[in-house]
Amino acid sequence: MRPLIATVDLAAIRHNHAVAKRCAPGRQSFAVVKANAYGHGAREVVSTLHDEADGFAVACLEEAAEVRGMHGTARILLLEGCFEPDEYRVAAQLGLDVVLRDDAQAEALLASDPHKPLAVWLKLDSGMHRLGFTPQALRAWHARLQDAAQVAELNLISHFACADERGHPLTEQQVEMFLDLLDLDFNQRSLANSAAILTIPAAHMDWVRPGILLYGATPFADLGAHELGLRPAMTLEAELIGVREVERGASVGYGADWIAERPTRLGTVCCGYADGYPRHAPAGTPVLVNGKRVPLVGRVSMDLLTVDLSDHPDIVVGAKVELWGAGLPVDEVAQAAGTVGYELLSKVTARVRRRYRGH
């Protein structure tokens, strides 16, 4: 069996959810479990938070159906709403909360017969400029929907663009735009993502939406997960499956674009971009081998990557390798690779075995 495994600490996920609840006392939480719970396993995360979270947030109907199969009573928020008119009936059968993000979705809802009314969340485009209604359009739809037979509850939701950059002026503008609509009658309101839960109490509203913080990674460039009191949930572990010596001037990997500047002791690790490790990670990206930091060298290939062991002659084949996790923050690896922890965690592929502890 290939020695590569993603160990997921479910106790860490419970701990991180508790951090979110402590930051937003009295608020309810939609635990965000889209994209297979950011690569951690939706089934296991929902089971772990079954009695902790007030609800769960997903991207699409298929994800919602999976969550409903594991939790019969939790509120489930469909973040992107319905893509086809007949999905409203399915959403009603599953008892979902449905986001409306544009005129077409709202018209489709009014033309539908879901058999029972839905909890509807009107999405405000408060500055992300990706999806959602303008304030004027949202006011018009609020008037049309508040007495519609298809609507059981009318709520307000929006999403921050820059809450991960502390002090960004757009964040305050988004909060103000959201608050300006609260003269309308809404049953529930939701604005705060992970970054806002941790640092913007004014955005907590009725429901918070913890996402990346649940998995022990930071939403901030200047604040680490440990500083925020978060515990990493996933440790991606492999083994050293080859060690060799090369002379000064030898190249390593595809493209031969890394050249040894000294006699070098190389180690080969059974993890590559087909497992979710970033192909674009540059030489120097940190890897832990037997608890010691060593630099990545050469290009990451589909199934393998190479590290420089020259300063550690005691490390041999079979040594334990941590690509990220409890000893090496995923955010540090992501920063070295020019990306974010969200991407690395969610891209760990299905061929990587998952092991769960802390049930």
**273 is a catalytic site residue:** no
**254 is a catalytic site residue:** yes
Helix 61-70 with 87-94: angle, nearest 10 deg: 20
Question: In sequence order, what are the residues at sequence separation of 6 or more whose Cβ sits closer than 8 angstroms to the Cβ of residue 23?
Answer: 197, 198, 201
Residue 75 is labelled as binding a ligand: no
Q: Residue 40: name the closest of 74, 19, 69, 14 by CA.
A: 14
| Contact between residue 284 and residue 272 where contact means Cβ atoms under 8 Å apart | no
Residue 302 is labelled as binding a ligand: yes
| Contact between residue 202 and residue 8 where contact means Cβ atoms under 8 Å apart | no
| Contact between residue 91 and residue 78 where contact means Cβ atoms under 8 Å apart | yes
Helix 103-110 with 135-145: angle, nearest 10 deg: 0
Three-state secondary structure readout of 252-301: ECHHHCEECCCCEEEEEECCCHHHCCCCCCCCCCEEEECCEEEEEECCCC
Question: Which listed residue (38, 116, 123, 254) is catalytic?
Answer: 254
Question: Which listed residue (21, 34, 123, 215) is catalytic?
Answer: 34
**Bridge partners (DSSP) listed for residue 120:** 98, 154
Known binding residues:
130, 302
Known binding residues for substrate:
130, 302
Active site residues: 34, 254
